[in-house]
Structure 1
Amino acid sequence: LQSNDCCISPDFEEENTGPEEEATIKTAGNSYLVSPSLPDFNGCSPGWSSAFYGAECFDSEVHSYLKNLGKQKSSESQNIDAKKVELEQLLMMETKNYRKTIKFYQKLLQKERRSKGPETKSMLPKLRGQLQEMKSKVQFLELVKKYQMMYAEQWGVESCVLPTVIHNGKTDSVDMAPMDESSLLLYYNTEKHQCHNQNGVRVLQAGTPLGLMAYLYSRNAFLEGYVQQFLYTFRYFCTQEEFLQFLLDRISSTLSSASLDPSTSLTKICNRSFYILQAWIEDCYSVDFATNTGLLCTLKEFISSKVASLNGYGERLLSLLEDASARKSGSADQCSSMDRCEEEGEEGRKTLHSLCKKLSEDVSRKNFYWKLSKGVGPIAQCQRERLPTSSAVLPKPCSFTEAKGDAVGPYLLTEYSTQQLCWQLTLLQQEVFLKCHPVHFLNSRALGVKDKCVALQKAVSTETVSLKVCNLFLSKCIQDQYLLQLLRNADSISTWVAAEIVTCHTTKRQVSLLSKFLLIAKCCYEQRNFATAMQILAGLENLIVRQLPAWKILPAKVAEIMEELKAVEVFLKSDSLCLMEGDRFKTLPTIPSAHVLAMHVQQLETGGFTMINGAHKWTKLRNIAKVVSQVHAFQENPYTYTPDFKLQSYLRQRITHFKDADIPALAADNCANFHQIPAEKHSRKIQDTLRRMKATFQ
């Protein structure tokens, strides 16, 4: 690739000269290169930020800081291990200081609320400014740490070597026609004005499947975000088996020829193949390997038979597969107890997200830019800091096992505060959201997902879904259908909301429950849980529910929330990246609407993926990867509400009880769902009719 001022890459060549890189294993008279710096082998996946920001993820300031890290004199340089140790120490120290300052800020905030002294008021703004500076410093150090993890770039090759990457994997190279880069990849030139580079920079526009896979080996492919974007979208042009075979062929053809010289192409291709394979396992194990036992067996057999005894990468990859399998099997327990583990986490090393959450929530309540209706005041229940547990507000004679019928269920909802219900519904939604993957939102048309909000369990059969229509993946590509489970869960909650309302036997109860659900939805979207907010809105917009007489006597301020929710829905549908604007998503938990996100991806998928010459449009695939990457971005910052398992159990029972309910049939059995003519008015009409009839006979 043509170099330019904005393209940065770590100076691995001048720093990685330690003796550990020259270690070899003698087997059958041949020398094999051991994986360099094995302790650094963990965590080479670029992550969502690489796919979202691309080359702009790491700026020149990060590069300069890492380059100068640990140097006592300008002439000195340190290897990667020394830089890593010093960076860890700096990050730990800054994080501890930030945590202590957060606690001090919270104490001052509580003191200010109690005493409201002038000294405390004057100190809080200064302390808040210091917190922002400390937070920025910790964020910068975490970015430097992530940049330092890009060890794979030392094994990148120049673009002119990419045909060699393909050639080394060919088993029958005798009659192989010569190929050049132009037959594999298509670029377009652009100028980087911010870099003042008049020569411009080549940007990948399209490529053949072989060319796009070979580009994974190019210099700066990790740092520019290409690797992560490829891992999200390669299923549009090749199957998992084809991609795995491509990597294994490169390893097989170069493993025995890898020399001590790290600058040779064979050594770079061999080591880069292992890093790409590891990044694939780390990021996409749940959607590719866990659902395809044949693919997993092929990889394990190859590692055990050809790599484990020769190269240090073998044992690492097998260990990585075991860890990924254990995480996959234990994901349900991990999600259900996630919040409890968050509170019992290590005191000495908390993440930036958990540390600055309290500060960010305080600021967000004052500067919430989705508050579209000025007439709706803040929810009183949401202002409480401490709430009673669910056992304290439940009626004593009634247990949860007895609360299964319609006679008790709807009335219990009004006994809980809005914030209690909002928090627990958010935790239930988070449990299913944390199990999804960005790849789940691709090719959703093939799963039967449509733009119209129809009941999924009625519109899509639970049997095997036909993938022949609108299938954008290759026919042999195995697709995980977890998105259908997400949408069925959303539809169940919407049906539950509508069913709870239409089964209330009095108009007064319906008004109370309508108000409760509207306030819950408002609280949810203010806490950035847009999934539950839109699910409640869908339940309230049910045709039967919208015709209820209770809407006419609903308080005006509460009724305005309905229009506010519709405005939020329009906002979510307006832009596929609207929730990624600013820095709120980095510090505030967010759960997007699965259906809205799937529709945004479908819109990007509209149109052809290939050009006239058969090359696949990488610019189109890159945009899709950028949109779906926000799933991992939101999953990095979970909600830390205290779970109320009794309340969650009650909510699960009610949602399950009504998930397949027929709303019109339920409404027909309840007289409160119909407009009633008052008795006096009805009697007066009869008397007037009798008078008119009597007058005609006189």
Structure 2
Amino acid sequence: MIEKRNFRKTLKFYQKLLQKEKRNKGSEVKTMLSKLKGQLEEMRSKVVYAEQWGLEPCALPVIVNIAAAHCDTLDFSPLDESSSLIFYNVSKHPRGGRQPKARVLQAGTPLGLMAYLYSSGAFLEGYVQQFLYTFRYFCSPHDFLHFLLDRISSTLSRAHQEPTSTFTKIYRRSVCLLQAWLEDCYAVDFVRNAGLLGRLQDYLSSQVRRGAGGTHPPGGDLEDPKDVEEDARPLNALCKRLSEDTVSRKSFPWRLSRGNGLALPHHKERQYSIASALPKPCFLEDFYGPYTKAGEKGPYFLTEYSTQQLFSQLTLLQQELFQKCHPVHFLNSRALGVTDKSAAVPRASSSESLSAKPCSLFLPNYIQDKYLLQLLRSADDVSTWVAAEIVTSHTSKLQVNLLSKFLLIAKSCYEQRNFATAMQILGGLEHAAVRQCAAWRILPAKIAEVMEELKAVEVFLKSDSLCLMEGRRLRAQPTLPSAHLLAMHIQQLETGGFTMTNGAHRWSKLRNIAKVASQVHAFQENPYTFAPDPKLQSQLKQRIARFSGADIAVLAADSGAGPRQAASEKHSRKIQDKLRRMRATFQ
């Protein structure tokens, strides 16, 4: 799973640095070694700390039956493991003469799947992370919060009386799960839902006040043992974190450095509002800054910069948008109007699109963040910009130069695993008005071959949802996936029923969706480190903003490329007709 892989890669990188330090007594290497060693110890201690409160599968029915009151909106009564969770056995080769069969979770009821969060190995095997990405298909955040708080309330007093009992494990694992949820999904579940956040804050405040009055919960179960002095009581610590501007993400390190350096400090969570979710031209206003048309340069500025300069700055612009994504943003995208057509993002002003809105796969009361629409709109605008620059060129020489430039930029992109920008450029070059340009006929053969390479890359990206995770060496490199293709892969996994005939939800299906979506965080861990060029970025953003939402066919006609192209094609057809008549005379 991702957690195990992250730990192994971080350990491997630490060992490489250790060997390098032995050969070269550099202070920089020593500093990095000490920091990385601290990260390894922190990861090992905190994950092991969370795992020590796991329960055996046979004890999971206690999780369901322990609360005095059941969840308000979940229509499930307390069930035993055999009816709430369905497993299948996987035979393994025996080691040391004896090796029992491993059980893999196949399906479960909502309460059963939530209870399985308390099983031993749920953190290390990745089940907790997968659940946090996919529970919205069968459970609302309010119900999940109610489930966790109910278990905390039901075991708080008994855990204090019996520190080594099952109640203590349930209580401490509940707090660990609550903290993991806050740290990993705060922006998608709590920021946009004031009622959910208020409910949690009220509960934590009441428990802290009750603890201050004399009923003290067992100490030190939220943080790593090293942090006991800082946060002596878990609920008090959670209350402190919620009172800050953002929720810290340090306690459960799902995502560490991918092996080429220390993890960058995490910036504050950006809060997404309904206003920010509305479709806007490509980049947001605050991203573009003030647009001064007077200082804008024409398409000739592209020829003033090298392919590497343009590729690196376009990559940084795309990376800035991608870093704001969350895996949950790519789920249930069909309900947002995202389809497998080139015009993937619907116009919000269209009454037809609103009336024909697809059915959501999430529960009806879930408020979904629409940041994916902004990301797809930005990709569409880059494609429009590429096409517009070419069709508005007034000379064949400039068209050839721009075609060559964009093709070489796209080649650099896919070679450096920036598949997002590569596919955006391909989308612009495949526009009908661009394909009709006469410049393709005089384009050098080696440059024209890049177009076929781009199409082959597109086929490769469509072939497998996990194709970018193949190969350890490639996986460790910075990567920007195509947002639209990633959403399409998840849509394909979402096709079909989520429930079995007995009402249980197919966890095998949800697990596959979570694995594909988790690539978002995996790629965000390893960013590109190109030096930014503010001047070039400003010019690129101005040109992209100028052509945002433009009709390429209209631009081509206005620039005169359309009539000239029609005349050229007519002349070509006349020559071909004459050649056919000449061949016919020799038969």
Structure 2 distance, partners of 1:634, 1:462, is: 37
Please state how far the C-alpha of 1:467 moved relative to its aligned partner: 9.3
Change in CA separation of 1:145 and 1:491 when aligned onto 2, cut-off 3 Å: same
Aligned equivalent of 2:294, options 385, 402, 416: 402
Structure 1 distance, partners of 2:140, 2:237, is: 25
Partner residue in 2 for 1:240: 141
Structure 2 distance, partners of 1:485, 1:166, is: 40
Q: Which amino acid aligns with 1:192?
A: K
Please state how far the C-alpha of 1:456 moved relative to its aligned partner: 2.3
Please state if 1:552 is matched with 2:441.
yes
Change in CA separation of 1:634 and 1:558 when aligned onto 2, cut-off 3 Å: same
Partner residue in 2 for 1:170: 68
Q: 1:674-685 maps to which residues of 2 (within 5 A)?
A: 674-675=564-565
- After superposing the two structures, state which structure 1 stretch, 218-227 or 482-491, moved more: 218-227
Change in CA separation of 1:443 and 1:356 when aligned onto 2, cut-off 3 Å: closer
Please state how far the C-alpha of 1:255 moved relative to its aligned partner: 1.1
Structure 1 distance, partners of 2:490, 2:430, is: 25
Asked if 1 retains the 8 angstrom alpha-carbon contact of 2:335 and 2:361, the reply is yes
Structure 1 distance, partners of 2:115, 2:489, is: 29
Change in CA separation of 1:439 and 1:223 when aligned onto 2, cut-off 3 Å: same
Please state how far the C-alpha of 1:569 moved relative to its aligned partner: 0.5
Please state how far the C-alpha of 1:263 moved relative to its aligned partner: 2.7
Partner residue in 2 for 1:612: 501
Deviations 1:645-695 (A, max 9, x none): 1111111111111011111111001224533768xx99x99xxxxxxxxxx
Secondary structure, counterpart of 1:476 in structure 2: coil
Q: 1:146-225 maps to which residues of 2 (within 5 A)?
A: 146-150=43-47, 151-171=49-69, 179-193=79-93, 195=95, 199-225=100-126
Q: Percent identity?
A: 59
Change in CA separation of 1:177 and 1:441 when aligned onto 2, cut-off 3 Å: closer
Q: 1:356-395 maps to which residues of 2 (within 5 A)?
A: none
Change in CA separation of 1:178 and 1:212 when aligned onto 2, cut-off 3 Å: closer
Aligned equivalent of 1:313, options 221, 226, 234: 234
Partner residue in 1 for 2:2: 49
Secondary structure, counterpart of 2:496 in structure 1: coil
Q: 1:172-571 maps to which residues of 2 (within 5 A)?
A: 179-193=79-93, 195=95, 199-259=100-160, 261-307=162-208, 309=211, 310-311=216-217, 312-323=233-244, 325=246, 352-354=259-261, 402-404=294-296, 408-454=297-343, 456-458=345-347, 461=350, 469-571=358-460
Please state how far the C-alpha of 1:632 moved relative to its aligned partner: 0.4
Structure 1 distance, partners of 2:544, 2:183, is: 35
Structure 2 distance, partners of 1:220, 1:177, is: 26
Change in CA separation of 1:538 and 1:103 when aligned onto 2, cut-off 3 Å: farther
Structure 1 distance, partners of 2:77, 2:348, is: 51
Please state how far the C-alpha of 1:585 moved relative to its aligned partner: 4.6
Structure 2 distance, partners of 1:277, 1:356, is: 24
Change in CA separation of 1:164 and 1:630 when aligned onto 2, cut-off 3 Å: same
Q: Which amino acid aligns with 2:108?
A: G
Change in CA separation of 1:677 and 1:274 when aligned onto 2, cut-off 3 Å: closer
Please state how far the C-alpha of 1:148 moved relative to its aligned partner: 3.1
Change in CA separation of 1:193 and 1:57 when aligned onto 2, cut-off 3 Å: farther
- Tell me which structure has the larger Cα radius of gyration: 1
Partner residue in 2 for 1:27: none
Give the superposed CA RMSD.
Answer: 3.7
What is the TM-score of this pair, normalised by structure 2?
0.79
Q: Which amino acid aligns with 1:434?
A: Q
Change in CA separation of 1:291 and 1:350 when aligned onto 2, cut-off 3 Å: closer
Deviations 1:516-539 (A, max 9, x none): 110111111111110000000000
Asked if 1 retains the 8 angstrom alpha-carbon contact of 2:6 and 2:258, the reply is no
Structure 2 distance, partners of 1:669, 1:291, is: 45
Partner residue in 1 for 2:579: none
Structure 1 distance, partners of 2:388, 2:479, is: 27
Q: Which amino acid aligns with 1:182?
A: S
Structure 2 distance, partners of 1:287, 1:177, is: 29
Change in CA separation of 1:485 and 1:194 when aligned onto 2, cut-off 3 Å: farther
Structure 2 distance, partners of 1:191, 1:352, is: 33
Deviations 1:44-97 (A, max 9, x none): xxxx813xx7xx8879xx9xxxxxxxxxxxxxxxxxxxxxxxx99x99897476
Structure 1 distance, partners of 2:202, 2:15, is: 44
Please state how far the C-alpha of 1:229 moved relative to its aligned partner: 0.7
Q: Which amino acid aligns with 2:428?
A: G
Asked if 2 retains the 8 angstrom alpha-carbon contact of 1:240 and 1:295, the reply is yes
Q: Which amino acid aligns with 1:581?
A: E
Q: How many residue pairs were aligned?
A: 510
Secondary structure, counterpart of 2:159 in structure 1: coil
Structure 2 distance, partners of 1:178, 1:470, is: 31
Q: Which amino acid aligns with 1:170?
A: A
Structure 2 distance, partners of 1:225, 1:251, is: 23
- Stretches of 4+ aligned residues off by more than 6 angstroms: 56-59, 90-94, 99-104, 135-144
Secondary structure, counterpart of 2:101 in structure 1: strand
Structure 1 distance, partners of 2:522, 2:136, is: 21
Q: Which amino acid aligns with 1:191?
A: S
Please state how far the C-alpha of 1:601 moved relative to its aligned partner: 0.5
Q: Which amino acid aligns with 1:168?
A: I
Structure 2 distance, partners of 1:502, 1:102, is: 56
Asked if 2 retains the 8 angstrom alpha-carbon contact of 1:586 and 1:637, the reply is no
Secondary structure, counterpart of 2:318 in structure 1: helix
Secondary structure, counterpart of 1:488 in structure 2: helix
Please state how far the C-alpha of 1:136 moved relative to its aligned partner: 13
Structure 2 distance, partners of 1:520, 1:580, is: 23
Structure 2 distance, partners of 1:161, 1:285, is: 30
Structure 2 distance, partners of 1:570, 1:136, is: 42
Structure 2 distance, partners of 1:421, 1:275, is: 45
Structure 1 distance, partners of 2:351, 2:308, is: 35
Please state how far the C-alpha of 1:260 moved relative to its aligned partner: 5.2
Please state how far the C-alpha of 1:259 moved relative to its aligned partner: 2.8
Change in CA separation of 1:449 and 1:475 when aligned onto 2, cut-off 3 Å: same
Gaps of 5+ in 1: 1-47, 63-86, 105-130, 329-348, 358-398, 686-698
Q: 1:583-594 maps to which residues of 2 (within 5 A)?
A: 583-594=472-483
Change in CA separation of 1:313 and 1:326 when aligned onto 2, cut-off 3 Å: closer
Asked if 2 retains the 8 angstrom alpha-carbon contact of 1:507 and 1:672, the reply is no
Structure 1 distance, partners of 2:336, 2:109, is: 27
Structure 2 distance, partners of 1:298, 1:646, is: 47
Asked if 2 retains the 8 angstrom alpha-carbon contact of 1:585 and 1:634, the reply is no
